[in-house]
Structure 1
């Protein structure tokens, strides 16, 4: 597990994950490495799950 991954069962807020996405890909004109792209894909999935969880809590 990478140091930026949350422990199993915990969900970070969408805002926290979004900040990590922004930090990883500061300039969209610059191509990410294969590893960076894989990490970005995992962050997008985590962000989407966090948004769904936050919407569920608000409902």
Structure 2
């Protein structure tokens, strides 16, 4: 049986993984998976739905 300390460790690990993922530049749009393209100022955008990084970050 999983005890409280085990659950806290699982939660902490998941939180660490989420922070690490959010710190990376995305390769694809999180909404539709379309590869992101670089804009003139280095921002990334989705040609399909207009999602932008870092403007539309969800962290």
TM-score range, shorter chain: 0.3 to 0.5
Question: TM-score scaled by structure 1?
Answer: 0.38
Structure having greater relative contact order (Cα 8 Å, sep ≥ 6): 1
Higher helix share: 1
Question: TM-score scaled by structure 2?
Answer: 0.38
Higher strand share: 2
